[in-house]
Structure 1
């Protein structure tokens, strides 16, 4: 048992930093301790300051003990029923636990007072009945206060987490857009066009058209948290033509998308982020081409497979990758992406969401609300 000053210091720290106990100590005890003391000792409690302070001190000590026991039970209950959808089970469990434990402690305390004749206490049926009834009701009130405090704390944590996810989602969108609208990407794209102007003007014109489609889609998609798979695949086909102009035979992209899956949803630009991630981390040569297979093969997921041939030197480290895609699915509250990696092949499975999936509302203006012609 720590010295009294140390215990009081710990108690103050607990009240200050633990919302649940703060509600108990500040809202319940100021009226609970005097009322219970009077129910137990009656007019003897009011005979003078000494009996009053003695009676209140003893009841306060017993209440502190009861609170410690209740807290231990509370932690187990919250661990067993932590969710919002388990509120009823959690509240019922707290009412039962608090009432049983507190009534049991009150029964033991009354018997000790009887044996020691503390403040002249004598067993009395009415006193016993009203004391136990009041302790039971207090347990119900305490359970309600604790549940209210717990619900408020969870709600505040949920709001904070959601705001953090929203900010992460906006940052990811902005990073994705910035990673494409940069001199390096423009240089490679325009250099490919420039090299074709003299030799093959028609192909150069087609490449410019694909470049226009790519930028138009990226500007539009960055304003939408979710897009249809069909639209994303059409974008990837245009984007792949730009990659083909850059890598040639070193990169091979194969698509096998079932028409029934075109209406399903996924986070915007997920495939573009994934393709960039794959090209960033794997060597691409005509002798050893990087082959990427994108298909829907059941299970409500989009499967992206490629042969594994890691680069010895990484480039474009600033490009967002798998972490950015995973963060988007976190923000949506969806299933997580799956990654299976062997020595020869890497498979990434992206969940496809139902067409009626609504993204969480954003509480801030989207950083990518850019005008689109």
Structure 2
């Protein structure tokens, strides 16, 4: 290959490097001004226009170098036009590849940010819901204690001792996201014992908890919340006791009771709404609520097993 040939190869390579360098610096400048997701179409049009300008100027310089210096035949406009087409295609191709990778990277970063924000929001909602339940139960318990002190003062000491057992459970499960059915049923059973002292003979409990389900997981205080709500919002007397039916099965833990609404009691909806939100946030699905004219039933789904 002649010296002129090697000069042409070197000049062509240098020409391509120059065009790409100018194009990428132009693209970097506008990408800084308009990042991904901000004026994307405008940025691409500006980059495309810059590619045309750089291509034309670079091609003119290329033609002048060879026409005036290397071959000494003057400035060749047809060479400028041919090289301009090549000079435009090179940066556009590089820009397309760069933009594709850039958009992909921006999409992944945005998706990770959304997932992280979603997890943070879910954790915040979960903590808020969890922290609302104990004060809600405490408020109702103090009301029950006050009523017991008026109606049956001799039962106050026993009532307080049983209530302390329940709050020991509340403190022990503070910060925990799951408990076994065995643990939660003991707390609910203690609560029913408290209510039996306060309102003897006003309710009965039928329990069917097979051994196979006792280690399944629930949200802390969930069973206690259901029985507490049922007693609060339904009429229960010695002549017409409220019959609880508590069963564990493949779908979860079901608590059923007759529908006998206490008209004077207004429901805040905190208990069931709280449980429903917490079970969903824990990935267990929805709390199933079924009601007929005579029976109200709630099924708490089992929490999924923790992944390793």
TM tier, smaller:
0.5 to 0.7
Partner of 1:34: 50
Q: CA deviation at 1:37?
A: 5.0
Partner of 1:229: 181
Partner of 1:175: 132
SS at match of 1:165: helix
Partner of 2:258: 307
Cα distance in 2 between the residues matched to 1:134 and 1:163:
42
Where do 5+ consecutive residues of structure 1 fail to align? 1-14, 47-118, 359-373
Q: Are 2:142 and 1:186 equivalent residues in the alignment?
A: yes
Where do 5+ consecutive residues of structure 2 fail to align? 1-30, 63-76
**Measured at CA, do residues 42 and 285 of structure 1 come closer, stay the same or move farther in structure 2, by a change above 3 Å?**
farther
Whether contact under 8 Å (1:24, 1:146) holds in the other structure is no
Whether contact under 8 Å (2:58, 2:87) holds in the other structure is no
Partner of 1:326: 276
Whether contact under 8 Å (2:126, 2:281) holds in the other structure is yes
**Measured at CA, do residues 34 and 257 of structure 1 come closer, stay the same or move farther in structure 2, by a change above 3 Å?**
same
Cα deviation, 1:274-328, whole Å, max 9, x if unaligned, reads: 22333344333444433332211213x22222222333333363x7212111221
Q: CA deviation at 1:333?
A: 3.1
Partner of 1:269: 221
**Measured at CA, do residues 357 and 139 of structure 1 come closer, stay the same or move farther in structure 2, by a change above 3 Å?**
same
**Measured at CA, do residues 269 and 130 of structure 1 come closer, stay the same or move farther in structure 2, by a change above 3 Å?**
same
Q: CA deviation at 1:167?
A: 2.6
TM normalised by structure 2 equals 0.68
**Measured at CA, do residues 280 and 187 of structure 1 come closer, stay the same or move farther in structure 2, by a change above 3 Å?**
closer
Whether contact under 8 Å (2:59, 2:84) holds in the other structure is no
RMSD value, Cα:
4.0
1:82-93 correspondence to structure 2 within 5 Å: none
Cα distance in 1 between the residues matched to 2:97 and 2:293:
60
1:210-289 correspondence to structure 2 within 5 Å: 210-289=162-241
User: How many correspondences in the alignment?
Assistant: 263
SS at match of 1:248: coil
Cα deviation, 1:332-361, whole Å, max 9, x if unaligned, reads: 233222223333323322221255468xxx
Whether contact under 8 Å (1:252, 1:290) holds in the other structure is yes
Q: Which of 228, 239, 245 is matched with 1:293 structurally?
A: 245
Whether contact under 8 Å (1:193, 1:204) holds in the other structure is yes
Q: CA deviation at 1:25?
A: 6.1
Partner of 1:95: none
**Measured at CA, do residues 37 and 284 of structure 1 come closer, stay the same or move farther in structure 2, by a change above 3 Å?**
farther
Whether contact under 8 Å (1:194, 1:204) holds in the other structure is no
**Measured at CA, do residues 137 and 256 of structure 1 come closer, stay the same or move farther in structure 2, by a change above 3 Å?**
farther
Whether contact under 8 Å (1:276, 1:321) holds in the other structure is no
Q: CA deviation at 1:216?
A: 0.7
Compare CA radii of gyration and give the structure with the larger one: 2
Whether contact under 8 Å (1:24, 1:145) holds in the other structure is no
Whether contact under 8 Å (1:19, 1:149) holds in the other structure is no
Q: Are 2:161 and 1:209 equivalent residues in the alignment?
A: yes
**Measured at CA, do residues 236 and 148 of structure 1 come closer, stay the same or move farther in structure 2, by a change above 3 Å?**
same
SS at match of 2:266: coil
Cα distance in 2 between the residues matched to 1:233 and 1:310:
25
**Measured at CA, do residues 142 and 293 of structure 1 come closer, stay the same or move farther in structure 2, by a change above 3 Å?**
farther
**Measured at CA, do residues 243 and 233 of structure 1 come closer, stay the same or move farther in structure 2, by a change above 3 Å?**
same
Whether contact under 8 Å (1:23, 1:145) holds in the other structure is no
Q: CA deviation at 1:197?
A: 6.4
**Measured at CA, do residues 150 and 305 of structure 1 come closer, stay the same or move farther in structure 2, by a change above 3 Å?**
farther
**Measured at CA, do residues 25 and 333 of structure 1 come closer, stay the same or move farther in structure 2, by a change above 3 Å?**
farther
